[in-house]
Chains A and B, each alone.
Chain A
């Protein structure tokens, strides 16, 4: 930097952390090009392909019974697995943030497990447990209860893949808030139940909503784990992502991209609400960068 003057530049002192303009602009350009190439372009193509034969053909793709069945199945799976994970997330983060117990760090590690396990493996676990040749298979088929290649299996796989989202969002938030407000409520005579509804839950509501949103997006979009346990029975066990794959493999591009555009729309919606929550309620969300 010997060529730089020691006196302040006309714009004033430069911060020591500020790079030279050329470095700055190179970094920004690389990031933007990357983003455009790998995120924006595919997203645009989804919609371009979906509307290639016009709006009529786009809408027709949703009139097909199999497509409707897939949409319904996806909604059903999300409607079951998201509340289950809200319940799990709330209890797990409550336990971790408010009590001390043995095995706490093990529990935190286990909550992260679905992030580190391949979704396909997650699906296979359930096939090995509940499939016809699986551990509980004979017992379940004797009872006339079908788990694999049916709704219960899809829900199980989805719950497994999505269970970190709510818990991971709430744990740091609850840890940061501590227990003194709850203690204050208890000394004022409130029951544990009342304390939860009037003090704990309102304090974490935006964090909870944020977690639910991410959990829902993943629940609806999950492919790998669901693909293993679903069996791909058209009109019965095909979720939207699986349906997209089938249509694509049949060279039915417009229909494939039309259904895909719904999922992309969900992603954009989720992103929008997420950004809004971060902007509006950033203080009451946890400071931690989430997934």
Chain B
């Protein structure tokens, strides 16, 4: 089912939690809402679920306006960060809760419910745990049961709020692959919230990057990596170094010297140039685009990481081959192969 969010805004008192959100989630897609804490991603998810009411804007489920639909009628599957399993019910009753809550006409027979619970437990790879209570399960198992419970009602969209946030690193990694697999098997339209860019990049078809209640960019992994829309996206998705630059006569100038690549159309004057560490390399002094002083050298597994100050606006780090003859205090000459320009 296609989910569309149009012009949504949400305020908590005087604070704007969401501003001007427009987002379309395609049917069958796995979309990540990615952002630092406080960026509004969980609020957006809760607005879509109907757990939070937007002050403005609309939410459409497959063309139908769901804005004024109460949470019970939206048919969403919601998975909470801390599982929110019903602690006084066993696993089977937890999973069956949504089916039993249906009005009589739409409620399946008990035997069918039992059947469905068994199948869902198979799907989440925890068969035979029907009689266990949440307190007797590990965190990873609880989150799988929570997912089974959400899937039991055959939701129109599956919403996951930091589903792996409370789990340790190993379990988190396992569950990621497993979630991807389940998504491929069920084809369920899924939106999940995370602050972990690796998780988003590994799992999602597309990511929607948020900051301070606004959408910064929506796109595939390649799009956000290769064409970051804003400096925030650039910084959030990995290490980035900023240079002060100027665009004039179709050329990019750093400290007055032209770089070897061309600026995009329609940009001129003072700009910010952002580079990834691999956009920079060591060059002979006569070819340098920038230079700085080595302040520290650290050994990594297959390379050395060199900290350079004075070249860019902040201290930058580049990785060099193990046999590069560099010493702290030395001056290095850097070539800039590539970078992203943003108007100042």
Contact = CB atoms under 8 A, between A and B. Distances in A.
A191 interface: yes
Given A183-B51, A202-B88, A203-B87, A190 B82 contact: no
A185 B97 contact: yes
A5 interface: no
State the main secondary structure of chain A at its contact with B: helix
A198 B100 CA distance: 11
A198 B86 CA distance: 9
Interface string B59-88: 000000000000111111110101011111
Interface string A199-234: 100110000000000000000000000000000000
Given A180-B80, A190-B97, A185 B51 contact: no
Contacts of B88: 202-203
B143 to A, nearest CB: 13
A185 B101 contact: yes
B166 to A, nearest CB: 12
A177 to B, nearest CB: 9
A189 B153 contact: yes
A185 B86 contact: yes
Interface in B33-57: 49-51
A181 B102 contact: no
Nearest to A182: B84
Contact of B77 (A185, A187, A194): A187
Most buried by B among A180, A184, A191: A184
B149 interface: yes
Interface residues of B, number: 27
Contacts of A28: none
Contacts of A191: 72, 101
Nearest to A185: B97
Given A186-B72, A187-B77, A181 B97 contact: no
Contacts of A181: 84-87
B276 to A, nearest CB: 39
B98 interface: yes
B86 A190 contact: no
A188 interface: yes
A184 B86 CA distance: 9
Contacts of B152: 188
A199 B93 CA distance: 12
B49 A187 contact: yes
A186 B85 CA distance: 13
A38 B82 CA distance: 48
A189 B98 contact: yes
Contacts of B51: 183, 186-187
Nearest to A195: B101
A227 B212 CA distance: 62
A185 B51 CA distance: 11
Contact of B98 (A180, A188, A199): A188
Contacts of A184: 78, 80, 84-86, 146, 149
A181 B85 CA distance: 6
Most buried by B among A185, A189, A190: A189
B101 A194 contact: yes
B80 A183 contact: yes
Most buried by B among A180, A188, A190, A203: A188
B75 A189 contact: yes
Contact of A190 (B74, B78, B101): B101
Interface in A76-127: none
Nearest to B49: A187
Interface string A131-160: 000000000000000000000000000000
Interface string B95-120: 00110011000000000000000000
Contact of A188 (B50, B82, B87, B153): B153
A203 B86 CA distance: 9
A125 to B, nearest CB: 38
Contacts of B74: 187
Contacts of B98: 188-190
A184 B72 CA distance: 10
Nearest to A199: B86
A190 B107 CA distance: 12
A95 to B, nearest CB: 19
Contacts of A190: 72, 97-98, 101
B84 A188 contact: no
A180 B84 contact: yes
B135 to A, nearest CB: 9
A199 B88 CA distance: 8
A203 B84 CA distance: 12
A128 to B, nearest CB: 42
A183 B101 contact: no
A284 to B, nearest CB: 8
Interface in A161-190: 180-181, 183-190
A187 B71 contact: yes
A239 to B, nearest CB: 38
11 contacts: A181-B84, A181-B87, A183-B84, A184-B78, A184-B86, A185-B86, A189-B73, A189-B153, A191-B101, A202-B88, A203-B88
Interface of A: 180-181, 183-191, 194, 198-199, 202-203
Interface of B: 49-51, 71-78, 80, 82, 84-88, 97-98, 101-102, 146, 149-150, 152-153
Given A184-B80, A187-B72, A187-B76, 15 more contacts: A180-B82, A180-B84, A181-B84, A181-B87, A183-B80, A184-B146, A185-B101, A187-B50, A187-B71, A188-B97, A189-B72, A189-B102, A190-B97, A191-B72, A194-B101
Lowest 6 A-B CB distances belong to which pairs? A188-B98, A180-B84, A190-B101, A187-B78, A184-B84, A202-B88
